[in-house]
Structure 1
Amino acid sequence: MTTILVTGGTGTLGRPVTERLRAHGHEVRVLSRHSRPYTVDLREGGSGLESALAGVHTVVNGATTQRGGDERSAANLIAAARRAGVSHLVCISIVGVDRVPLGHYRTKLAVEQQVAESGLGWTVLRTTQFHDLVVRVFRALARLPAVLLPAHARDQPVEVAEVADRLAEPARAAPAGRVPDMGGPEVRTFESPARACLHATGRRRAVVNVPLAGKTYRAFREGGHLAPGHAVGKGTFEEYLAVRYGHGEGGRRG
């Protein structure tokens, strides 16, 4: 079996990807800013990255941050992977990075381009938003007396465990370029999961749909971030909430 390095291996996606690869008998190294023995900040690179890549056949790059630096991290990883003779670089990305002019999406598109031009064998999987990210957004919005949502916008959240299953497949196979997008099972208005999240967490808030302006809002309103033709996910948002918060009236058990 091959040796695989998972960057961001302690994160929401990296952890289940690591579990699946190990279950298939691969030697898996986990790289992150906080886990030993491969404690590396990809934005800085350095000798720790070189050590982590020694003898590695495939890299699954799940490292990302909303604080910036993904392009620099990708550049450092690609350069070190070339020096180490890595054969395959597998990356996770986001549906709509080429259609929605959001800063983080533009960064993800730039990373995709770096990967495609790296000279390495590569595979990129784009998915819609994970259930847990949707919950974090709605919980933040619920700090106000009313939950303000962009009118006429929709979402298609997907279960991260299913994404891990899908991402582990190309990591164990030959480079495939950009593979088909992966979306959650349902395209629905923002209001629907927002109300489900409020119920599950036992919060009472008014939900107000607010018309917005600008290119980014228009792209979201037009569904640039959705993959209705690739709604291959099975787990629904309500099923995720039931597991996370428990069943019953008032939602949260603890």
Structure 2
Amino acid sequence: MTTILVTGGTGTLGRLVTERLHTDGHEVRVLSRHSPPYAVDLREGGPVLDAALDGTEVVVHCATTPRGGDERAAAHLIAAARRARVRHLVHVSIVGVNRVPFGYYRSKLAVERLVAESGTDWTLLRATQFHELLVALFGALARPPVMLLPAGVPDQPVAASEVARRLARLAAGPPAGRVEDLGGPEVRSLSSLARAYLAATGRRRPVLDVPLPGRAYRAFRAGGHLARGRALGTPTFEDHLAARFGDPGRR
């Protein structure tokens, strides 16, 4: 049995990683901002972080926010992990952070560099966008009477449960550096995914594709965020929608 700390352990991915590690027989500590006994804002660090890492052998770093501070959080975590002599740091990132000049992606790439230069043995997995992220995005975009989408952007959503399964296996194994990317089973247009969401939720909205300016949009449109040839996931977006919303014809 290995003692493993999961940062962001109450989030979409971290919760699933925690459940998988428990199932596999590991002792798991959950670190998040509001979950005692290890309630820590990693952007601030502090003695509770050191207590969480005391006796920890492996860290799975899932904590992240698009609102900023990921680099500061990673620096605090890495420094504390070195003090605690953690032997293995497993980090999850996003496919395309090195190809898409998007602010959040730049931050994720900077965190990857911090991990690689941490002095602690590490493993890095990049994954494509989760089904849950698209559901949240489409839910917000469907509020107006017309659903506006960036024109020509493909996507390759993956089940968070499959990413969690992969991370749990990596955490139980030896440090491996950067491993192969993990993508969902299908590359689809964003508009086709949005229409699937509307059908599953019983909403009626016209979908309008709108060209956008900027280098980040061009990189997304070119598929810089896709794991082409790495379609390892199994559940499709429609599978996720059916499990979450059921059959719209029966509502």
Which residue in 1 is equivalent to 2:159? 159
Q: TM-score, normalised by structure 1?
A: 0.97
Which residue in 2 is equivalent to 1:73? 73
Which residue in 1 is equivalent to 2:224? 224
Report deviation, 1:25.
1.3
Which residue in 2 is equivalent to 1:240? 240
> Which amino acid counterpart does residue 46 of structure 2 have in structure 1?
G
> Which amino acid counterpart does residue 214 of structure 1 have in structure 2?
G
Which residue in 1 is equivalent to 2:186? 186
> Which amino acid counterpart does residue 101 of structure 2 have in structure 1?
P
CA distance in 2, matches of 1:243, 1:25: 27
Identity among equivalent pairs (%): 68
Which residue in 1 is equivalent to 2:109? 109
CA distance in 2, matches of 1:46, 1:3: 21
Deviations 1:141-176 (A, max 9, x none): 111111111111100000011111111111001100
Which residue in 2 is equivalent to 1:21? 21
CA distance in 2, matches of 1:248, 1:239: 13
CA distance in 1, matches of 2:162, 2:2: 23
Deviates more, 1:240-249 or 1:73-82: 240-249
Report deviation, 1:240.
0.3
**SS of aligned partner of 1:13:** helix
Which residue in 1 is equivalent to 2:150? 150
CA distance in 2, matches of 1:89, 1:191: 37
CA distance in 2, matches of 1:119, 1:78: 9
Report deviation, 1:30.
0.4
Q: TM-score, normalised by structure 2?
A: 0.98
Residues 2 and 57, structure 2, Cα contact 8 Å, conserved in 1: yes
CA distance in 1, matches of 2:107, 2:90: 17
> Which amino acid counterpart does residue 233 of structure 1 have in structure 2?
G
CA distance in 2, matches of 1:78, 1:62: 13
State whether structure 2 residue 199 is matched by structure 1 residue 176.
no
Residues 202 and 248, structure 2, Cα contact 8 Å, conserved in 1: no
> Which amino acid counterpart does residue 138 of structure 2 have in structure 1?
F
Deviates more, 1:45-54 or 1:206-215: 206-215
Deviations 1:109-147 (A, max 9, x none): 000000000000000100000000001111111111111
**SS of aligned partner of 2:229:** helix
CA distance in 1, matches of 2:81, 2:153: 40
> Which amino acid counterpart does residue 169 of structure 1 have in structure 2?
R
**SS of aligned partner of 2:59:** strand
Deviations 1:78-104 (A, max 9, x none): 000000000000011000000001100
Which residue in 1 is equivalent to 2:100? 100
**SS of aligned partner of 1:29:** strand
Gaps of 5+ in 2: none
Matches within 5 A, 1:50-61: 50-61=50-61
**SS of aligned partner of 1:73:** helix
**SS of aligned partner of 2:249:** coil
Matches within 5 A, 1:32-47: 32-47=32-47
Report deviation, 1:243.
0.6
Report deviation, 1:248.
3.5
CA distance in 2, matches of 1:218, 1:248: 35
**SS of aligned partner of 1:230:** coil
Paired residue total: 251
Which residue in 2 is equivalent to 1:125? 125
Report deviation, 1:212.
1.7
CA distance in 2, matches of 1:118, 1:50: 17
CA distance in 2, matches of 1:173, 1:131: 27
